[in-house]
Structure 1
Amino acid sequence: MAEKTIYSLDRRPSESTTDTESYEPRQQEGDYAAWLTVMGSILIYYAASGLMNSFGFFQDYYSKELLRHTPAPNIAFIGTLQMALCNIFASISGALCDRHGVKYLYIGSGIGMVISLLILTYIPPSQFLLVLMTQGLLLGLSIAFAAQPALTVVGQHFKDKRALVMSLVCTGSSLGGIGFPLMFNKLVPQVGFSNAVRIAGLKIALCYSIALFLSTSKPSNNPESKSRAPLIDFGGFRDFRYAVLCVGMWFAILGLWIPAYYIKTYTAAAHGNNGISQYFLCMINGCSIVGAIFAGLMGDRIGRLNLLWPMVLVSGCLCLFLWLLSTSIPTLVLFISMYGFFSSSVSALPTSIIGQITPDDKLGARTGAFYSLITTASLGGTPIAGALISDANSRDGYRWLILFSGTALILGSVFMLASRLLHAQDLRKKW
C-alpha cells in the first residue's frame, strides 16, 4: 500500500522567506528513531542547559565562598558568558548538525564539559579570571556545540509536532535546573564543592553517552546542496517577521534570567536567611517544565506566536507587580511559580516559530543566526541588573533591578506582537 503523503500546515509556499525557496511534500513523521532522538536531546538539555540554568547556585556560592571578594555583577558575567557563547556559536553548531549530524558534536561537547568541570575543582579561592575562563569560556563553548544541535536534530524529524517536541526537549533544561541545584545543595556540605562538581561531571558524561546512543540525524534529501550551504545564514532577516521577532527576543532575553540569578540574594536581603530560599531556583525550573509542555501543546493548537507574546507579557507584569510589591515569602513563592510557568515559553517556542518560515535545510543555520544576534542581551542582561542594585542588604536596593527585568520583558512582548501582526492582522488566525 502506498505511503500517505501529508503537507504541514506550517509550511505553505507563501510563508517562505524568499521567493526562490520552495517546499516539498514530506512523509509521515514521528517514527521510533524520531522519538528516541527526542529522548536523547532531552538528556543533552538536562546535562548542558540544565547546568547552565543552575548558575543561580554558583552565583550564591561564589558570592559567599569561592569569590566572596568579587562584585556580584562580575560573578553574574560568568553565567551570562555561557549563554552568550551558546548564542554566538548556535549558527555554526546548528549548521554543522545540518551537514554532519550530531555524533561528533556530542562527543566534543561532552568531553569539553567534563574537562572544564574537572579544572574548576582545582581553582583556588579568589581567582576570578580562572573561574571565568574555565566555567564561562570553556564550559560555555562546550555547551554551545550541543544545545542548538539537540534542537536542530529534533526539527529534522518533526514538522507538525515541532513545537511540542521542542518544548519536550526544553523540559530537559528545566529538569537539570532542578536536579543540579538539589544535588549541589545536598553534596556541598557533605563532600565539599570540588567533589560535588566532580560528581556532576560523571553525571554529565553518563547523560551524553546515552544521548549519543539514542540520537540519529535525518539524512538530507539533497546532500550536495547542503554541503554548499553557508554555516551562518542571515538571509532570514530579509523577512520582516523574522527580523522583528528577533528584536522581541532580544528584549525578552535581556530581562529573562534576572529573577533566577538574583531571587535568592534578594530573599536574603528582604527576609533574612531562611530554609525555603535554597529551593527557589528548583521551583522556577520545576514550573518551567509544566509551562514548556503547555506551550508546546497549545502552540501547536492555537499558533506558536499567538501564544508566545502574551506569555512573555505576563512574565513582565509578574515582575513589575507581584515581585516588586511582594512583602512576604508566600508572595515570592507565588511569583517564582508563576514566573517559571509563563517565562518558559521564551525557551520553548521561538525555534519552532522560526521553523515555520524557514526551509528545512536552512533551519540550523538560520536559527543560529537568529540567536547569534541575541548574544549582547544574554551577555549584558544580568550584569546590568546586578549593577542596578543600590544596596545588596535591603529589599529596596533591588527595586531598579526588578523594574529593569519587567520592562525588558514587556518591550519584548510588544515586538513579538508586532511580528505576529506582520504574519496576519487577524489575531484569530493560527500563527
Structure 2
Amino acid sequence: MERRADPEHGCTISQPESEHSKSAWFTVAGSFLVYFVSFGYMNSFGYFQDYYIQNDLAEFSPPIISLIGSMQLGLMLLVGPVSGTLFDAYGIKWLYLVAATGSTVSCIGLSFAQPGRIWQYFLSQGVLFGLMVPFGTSVALPVVGQHFRQNRALAMGVVAGGSSVGGVCLPIMFSHLVPRIGFAWSLRVAALIMLVFYGVAGFISTEKLPARPLKPARQIVDFGGFRDIRYTTLALANVVGNFGLYVPFYYIEPYIAVNFDGSGASSYLLPIINGSSFFGRVIGGYTADRIGGLNLLYALTTVSGCLCLTMWLLASSIGIVVSFVCLYGFCSGIFISVMSPVTSCLSPDDKIGARLGAFSAWGAIGVFTGTPIAGSFLKNNKSSEYTNLIIYTGVCMTVSGGLMFVTRLLCDRNLRKKW
C-alpha cells in the first residue's frame, strides 16, 4: 500500500461540497451496500445456526455451533479500531479491497467445508470473516461523516439500515436457494454478491479528507475512560446487554422449529426481527437527538428484557412470537444504534475514537460468550429447555437496563433533563 498525501507535507483541503451533491449520496449508497453484505450477513447467522443444528453439524451442541457467529461479531469489535486507523492512513479503496477479498474467500471456503468437520466452519465463517469484515464496516460510516454535517444523522441512518435490509434479504435468499441448488452453491452466490457490492461501493465512494499519519497504539484504544464511574457503569451495562442481545437472533428459528413445528413461519422470523431493527435504528437515532440518548437507552433496554420474560416466555401461539420478534427487534435496534453516541458524550472530544475502541473491546466479552452460554441450556434441543434460555436473555437485558439507569443517575439525578 502506498500512503496518500499527508496534510503536514503541503496538502490543502478543499471547501466543503454541498451535502446534496452526487458524490455525497453515492458514498452513502456505497456504504449501504457494504453494511448489506457485512452486518447483513452476520445478522443472518440465525439461519446458519438452525441449518447446522439440523444438517451439517447435527452432532454438535447449539452452544458450540453458536461460537461461530459469536466469533464473527467479537473479532469485528476487536479489529475495528485498528482498521479505522488504517483508513486514516491509506483510504477507503484499499480497505474495501481487503474486506471484499476476505469476505469472498470466507464464503467460498465455507462452501467446501465438510459436514461434521466443525473446525472448517469455525475457521472460514467465524475467524476469517470476523477478521476481514471490519475493514469494511469500520470505515463505511466515517467516510459518510466526511460528506455531511447538517444531514449526518439521516445519512448514517440510511447506511445503518443496510445491515437490517441485508438481514432481511439474505436469510430469505438462503431459505429459497438451498433447497434448489444446495448449501454450497448458495454460499457461492452470496460470495459473488459480496464481491460485486464491495466493488460497486469502492467505485462510487469518495473521500474528502487527506491522509493522516498512523496513530500510535495508545491513541487507537484508550482505557482511561474507566477512571470515570459513568463510563465504567455504561461499559458494564453494555457487556451484560451483549450477553443477551443476540440470543433471539441466533435461536428464534430453532425455537420455532421445536415449539411450533409445521407452522411454516420459522424462515421468516429472522428477516422480521432484522426488519424491525431497521426501524429501531432510524427512529431511535431521531428520538435520541430530542429526548437524550441515555434516557431512551435505559428505558428501551429494560423493555426488551421485559418482553423476553413475558411475551416470549409465555408465548402460546405463533402470533405472539411474531409480535415479540417485531417489538424486540425494534428495541435491539435502539440498543445498537444509540450506545455509541451516548458513549461519545462521556468522552473528551479529542479521545472519542480511542475511548470508543476501548468500549468496543470490552463489549466483545459479552458478544463472544453470550450466545454460547445461552445455548448451553439446550442439552437436547427440546421445547422445555428453551425456558431457561429465554429467562437468561430477559434477565441480561433487564439488568443491563438497570445499569444504564444507574449511569443516568450518575450523570444527573434530574430525570427530566435531556441526557
TM-score by length of 1: 0.87
Q: How big is the shift at 1:360? A: 5.7
Moved more, 31-40 or 245-254: 31-40
C-alpha contact 2:305 2:393 (8 A) present in aligned 1: yes
Distance 1:228 1:76, change over 3 A: closer
Please state if 1:421 is matched with 2:383. no
Q: How big is the shift at 1:185? A: 0.6
Matched with 1:209 is 199
SS in 1 for 2:265: helix
Distance 1:289 1:224, change over 3 A: closer
Please state if 1:351 is matched with 2:340. yes
SS in 2 for 1:273: coil
Matched with 1:302 is 291
Alignment of 1:22-421 (within 5 A): 30=19, 32=21, 33-158=23-148, 163-219=153-209, 223=212, 230-358=219-347, 362-394=351-383, 396-421=384-409
Structure 1, unmatched stretches of 5+, are: 1-25
SS in 2 for 1:344: helix
Q: How big is the shift at 1:161? A: 5.3
C-alpha contact 2:220 2:357 (8 A) present in aligned 1: no
Quote the Cα distance in structure 2 between the aligned partners of 1:219 and 1:358.
23
Alignment of 1:1-40 (within 5 A): 30=19, 32=21, 33-40=23-30
C-alpha contact 1:175 1:286 (8 A) present in aligned 2: yes
Quote the Cα distance in structure 2 between the aligned partners of 1:416 and 1:284.
24
C-alpha contact 1:84 1:378 (8 A) present in aligned 2: yes
Q: How big is the shift at 1:391? A: 4.5
Distance 1:218 1:416, change over 3 A: farther
Quote the Cα distance in structure 1 between the aligned partners of 2:228 and 2:268.
43
Amino acid at match of 2:376: A
Amino acid at match of 2:123: M
1:1-56, Cα deviation, whole Å (9 max, x unpaired): xxxxxxxxxxxxxxxxxxxxxxxxx9899453444333322211111010000001
Matched with 2:7 is none
Quote the Cα distance in structure 1 between the aligned partners of 2:206 and 2:17.
17
Distance 1:223 1:129, change over 3 A: closer
Distance 1:385 1:335, change over 3 A: same
C-alpha contact 1:226 1:361 (8 A) present in aligned 2: no
Quote the Cα distance in structure 2 between the aligned partners of 1:225 and 1:235.
21
Amino acid at match of 1:414: G
Q: How big is the shift at 1:412? A: 1.1
> Among the aligned pairs, what percent are the same residue?
41
Matched with 1:23 is none
C-alpha contact 1:95 1:232 (8 A) present in aligned 2: no
Q: How big is the shift at 1:378? A: 0.3
C-alpha contact 1:83 1:378 (8 A) present in aligned 2: yes
Structure 2, unmatched stretches of 5+, are: 1-14
Quote the Cα distance in structure 2 between the aligned partners of 1:360 and 1:211.
30
Over the residues paired in the alignment, what is the CA RMSD in angstroms? 2.4
Q: How big is the shift at 1:358? A: 4.1
Amino acid at match of 1:185: S
Q: How many equivalent residue pairs?
A: 404
Distance 1:219 1:228, change over 3 A: farther
C-alpha contact 2:17 2:147 (8 A) present in aligned 1: no
